[in-house]
Amino acid sequence: MKRIGILHILTDIQLQDRFSHEELTEMVIAGGADTIQFRQKHGSTRELIETACHMKALCARAGVTFIVNDRVDIALASDADGVHLGQDDFPITLARRLLGDDKIIGGSAGDLKEAMKCVDEGADYIGFGPVYPTLSKEDAGPATGIKMMKRLLREINIPVIAIGGVNPENVPGIMSSGSHGIAVISAVCCSDDPVQATRILKEALNYGSNTGGYR
């Protein structure tokens, strides 16, 4: 059975350079993340494969889901648990053909039309946002807000992961709206203490789940 986690941490070495992908992986696992997504836009394919393989091994030992952002080839080479694809990335239908039915495929969406496209193409979950304004992604569109996410949740039947401007203060509201979980980049990667930042987000998730969301 595919495990769609509720606390997705995207590792990043562009917004910060203190920690490597592998170091961030170890720290967020210690903090309680159940899904880690390898996100790197630049670098040689060989280097990305090596990093992804190291991250996969760390995640496998901890029982944490490992997802690769954008790169189906890196996901294949590292035997990742899945891949996350944007609207302009590798088509979900072709990714499914290459990865097989047992792998997780997530799709990004910024509105209902894009979300329905992901569903129709066979995505297992949707990363929806940015829910709040964010500086972590240069290509992020305008903030959608909770109201739009609630509308989306009424229309689709696969898990929705909120992303964009997510922090401990707004997590309870996100989860009480019915979101399956959250995904963050800078809230953890740019923190002085990624372990503690992850723990705080997990606590906020637990509180939000108990006030109307679900785990």
Q: Is 46 helix (H, G, I), strand (E, B) or coil?
A: helix
Residue 185 gets which letter from DSSP? S
* C-alpha to C-alpha distance for 153 and 115, rounded to whole angstroms: 10
The catalytically annotated residue of 56, 71, 108, 186 is 108
Active site residue 215: no
Active site residue 39: yes
Active site residue 176: no
Task: Please state, as a whole number, how many other Cβ atoms lie within 10 Å of the Cβ of residue 98.
Answer: 13
Q: Are strands 7-11 and 104-109 parallel, antiparallel or unpaired?
A: unpaired
The catalytically annotated residue of 136, 137, 179, 202 is 137
* C-alpha to C-alpha distance for 60 and 43, rounded to whole angstroms: 24
Question: In one letter, which amino acid is 34?
Answer: D
The catalytically annotated residue of 39, 56, 71, 103 is 39
Task: Please state, as a whole number, how many other Cβ atoms lie within 10 Å of the Cβ of residue 46.
Answer: 9
Question: In one letter, which amino acid is 111?
Answer: D
* C-alpha to C-alpha distance for 215 and 44, rounded to whole angstroms: 37
Task: Please state, as a whole number, how many other Cβ atoms lie within 10 Å of the Cβ of residue 100.
Answer: 9
Which residues form the catalytic set? 39, 108, 137
